[in-house]
Structure 1
Amino acid sequence: MNDRREVQLSKLLSWLLRHGANKEGLQISNDGYIAVSELLLHHSFRGKYNKSDIIRVVENNSKKRFKLRQNPQNNILEIKANQGHSIDINNTDLIQILEPKYQTLVHGTYFKYWPKIKNAGLHHMSRKHIHLSKALADGIRFYESENGVVLTEGNVNGYLEPKYFSKVTIVKTGKFE
């Protein structure tokens, strides 16, 4: 499989496992796993990809977006996305961060989103520098996924407010705001 096909498969897996499983009629477990054999029967995979391709994408993904397992009950090979879901799953693999293990978290996004983030904060589906210990003290919960990504649901409205940002760096110019 060439790099281009690997990227295409990774994007397809990301979409189906994080957002589209239910829309596409795929059986997704409460904890986000789908049988690889079921994926391979889906019209987007059938005749285009095989089990080895999926295993290669999981093993080669530098951000460790996916996890494979043999289902302990039936020994069927399954795959899930480690984080980033818009569909409801019971993500038992997330470890709640109770102490400020990280003083600062870095969030990258496009500059065009900065005015909205500056006013309202980061929303759960958005991304800057965040003062973690202050947010923890205020009751904001953070979790670490299996692939080392720190996640938060934000406040009751789903936002991590700007008061938790320690600084914002515009990468292209190196300026701070």
Structure 2
Amino acid sequence: MSNQTDSTTVFETFLLYMEGFFIHRCGESVKQEEHDHLEASVELLRQQEKILEMMLRDCQAVLGLHFDDPIARTYNYVRKEDIRNTADPNTKSIIIKSESDSSSNFEVQVTDPSTSGSHDMIVKNKKGVKSHALLFSNEPPINVNIKKEIEDGEEVEDLSDYEADLEEARKDWNLDSHDLHNHR
């Protein structure tokens, strides 16, 4: 905090010096109106400096909350809005996987809706190992949908991109193909 005070003192000293320089330079010819205008300019700069200092304190407080919060250090969060925006309404399955399977020890907490107004589910890895949440739809596997559409004679879209994404997810999560369909 003293660093900000020092910079404020230096800045004010500079402004006073500049004000005195202009008044001295102009000497007796400086009119009272010009002097008042210079004082008003200095006061405006002081007010703007106070606003900047408040903004700096606000930014430091936000950064402090982010980095100093002990909860934010260990756990990843998936917000309800994130789930709603990324998943269709039929998505019911959430798979939570730890980066280190041998250290997985999860605790599930559900808040009382009377206090928060909604059900909040918190899944914590007691060992502090980073974990990830993955959402899956409760719809039948893609291959079943393709066969049904072919039997009905409907036009089938190219699903190779979806299959590549699914294969990449399998590799990332070290899952077999049957794990994705037997998670329910």
TM bin, normalised by shorter chain, reads under 0.3
* Structure of larger gyration radius: 2
**TM-score, normalised to structure 1's length?**
0.22
Specify which structure has the higher proportion of helix. 2
**TM-score, normalised to structure 2's length?**
0.21
Specify which structure has the higher proportion of strand. 1
